Amino acid sequence: MSTPAPVSTAPAESRLPLRAKLAWALGSLGDNYSMNTLNMLKDAVYTVALGVSAEKLGWALFFPRFIDAFVDPMVGYWSDNSKSRHGRRRPFIFLSAVPLALLGFLIWVPSRSLGVDGLFWYFLVTTFLFYGAYSFFIVPYRALGLELTTDYNDRTRVQAWGMIVGLLGGLGIPWLYKLTLVFGGAHPGDTNISPDVILDGVRWVGLGTAVLVLFSCIAPAIFCRENAVVAPAQKLSLVGAIRETARNRPFLHMLAMNLFAILATLAVGAVGLILTINYLYNGDQGAAATLNGWAGMVLMAGAFIGVPINTWISTRIGKRHAAFVCLGTAAAAFASMIWTMHPSHPNGMIASSFLLGFGL
């Protein structure tokens, strides 16, 4: 792990053509919208508008993700050992796209007649099913991206194209809350926006994102082709496969790095919107939505600029050292929010967003 990988000497014709990279990258757009629409709007809809406590919302998100931790390895095992003339990954990707898009829409059409407790259970059930569909899509999809080419650095380029397409298409994600207010008919400067306004608006936003998720997630299954895979000499059971994985020390190191990075990112994201509304703007949802939109776009810009630069760095010094550079940058961005996220200068948060996007 301490030695950078050698620069690839594979001939250009052995590398994946750009059209294949772009076909796979379209799935990153659907991945981006399916997960980040939920992260962007859950607090605005269920806590601010419908009155479900943030604590209950946290539990409703915890249980599906907890079960998800057990579902993901099972989906990976089934995909690894599936046999189809269409490949091991593409059937899973194709068949999961429809329920993923449909459930992504159903999350945003709750009825206020359910009451606070009923809304909690509605959110819990729909997100539980949504994350299940997401597992059946994302695990084979990520595996497909790693298997499209055998060239070490070209794999990095495949992932970079996924980031670029996901980020470019995802420029609208920071504005989803603002669009919810606009489609719901909210007036600028109104600090007493009714729940009906948000519910009316989020139905249209949810429908639009569901259509986008459907077509972008199906694209890799239709336009990508899988490389032939030689069957292993000995087929491992699911428990045996997990045991073998747990013995891989470099993988465990990477897993720990990813765990802490996700914990840090989601810890800030979980309270970001509530803080912006109530701390930076004293209840003005419109102003908070506008700042969220600009900060999110600047974060995307930082990430977009960072992708080719960090891809170049990783091909020169290795992925491990590049990861240290990127994580250090993201850590500095989070630390800077101590000073930039303040009611006296709320727009200062935009500077931290750019640095954070570059690092992440």
Domain of 81: which CATH number? 1.20.1250.20
Final residue of a structural domain among 224, 247, 270? 247
Which pLDDT value is given to residue 7? 44
Same domain, 53 and 81: yes
Same domain, 23 and 158: yes
Q: Tokens representing 92?
A: 């899973």
Q: pLDDT by residue (tens digit) across 326-338?
A: 889 999 999 998 9
CB-based contacts of 233, cutoff 8 Å, min separation 6: none
CB-based contacts of 303, cutoff 8 Å, min separation 6: 163, 167, 357, 358, 360
Which pLDDT value is given to residue 169? 78
Q: Give residue 224's identity as a one-letter amino acid code.
A: C
Which pLDDT value is given to residue 12? 45
Please count the structural domains in the chain.
Answer: 2
Helix (H, G, I), strand (E, B) or coil at 145: helix
Same domain, 190 and 309: no
Same domain, 255 and 271: yes
Taking CA atoms, 195 is separated from 128, 201, 233, 260, 292, in Å, by 24, 10, 59, 36, 20
In a domain, 163, yes or no: yes
In a domain, 10, yes or no: no
Which pLDDT value is given to residue 189? 64
Final residue of a structural domain among 214, 247, 280? 247
In a domain, 2, yes or no: no
Q: Tokens representing 348?
A: 């200062």
Same domain, 49 and 134: yes
User: Which helix (H) or strand (E) element contains residue 323?
Assistant: helix 319-340
Same domain, 219 and 257: no
Final residue of a structural domain among 193, 218, 247? 247
In a domain, 11, yes or no: no
User: Do residues 349 and 337 make contact, with C-beta atoms less than 8 angstroms apart?
Assistant: yes
pLDDT in tens, the chain (360 residues): 444 444 444 444 457 788 888 899 999 999 989 988 998 899 889 988 898 988 888 888 888 888 888 888 889 888 888 888 888 899 999 999 999 999 999 999 998 889 889 999 999 999 999 999 999 999 999 999 888 888 877 888 888 888 888 877 777 888 898 899 888 887 766 667 888 888 999 999 999 999 999 999 999 999 988 875 555 556 777 788 888 888 999 889 888 888 888 888 777 777 777 888 888 888 788 888 888 888 888 988 898 888 888 888 888 888 888 888 888 999 999 999 899 989 988 888 899 999 998 988
Q: Give the number of other Cβ atoms within 10 Å of residue 328's Cβ.
A: 11
Same domain, 311 and 238: no
User: Do residues 291 and 276 make contact, with C-beta atoms less than 8 angstroms apart?
Assistant: yes
In a domain, 6, yes or no: no
- Per-position DSSP letters for 270-284, written without gaps between them: HHHHHHIIIIISTT-
Expressed as residue numbers, the domain containing 196 is 17-247
Same domain, 135 and 160: yes
User: Do residues 135 and 93 make contact, with C-beta atoms less than 8 angstroms apart?
Assistant: no
66 alpha-carbon distance from chain centroid:
17
In a domain, 353, yes or no: yes
Same domain, 47 and 110: yes
In a domain, 172, yes or no: yes
Hey, which bits of the chain come out as E strands?
none
Same domain, 53 and 115: yes
Same domain, 99 and 183: yes
In a domain, 42, yes or no: yes
Which pLDDT value is given to residue 229? 56
Same domain, 34 and 95: yes
Helix (H, G, I), strand (E, B) or coil at 38: helix
Which pLDDT value is given to residue 263? 83
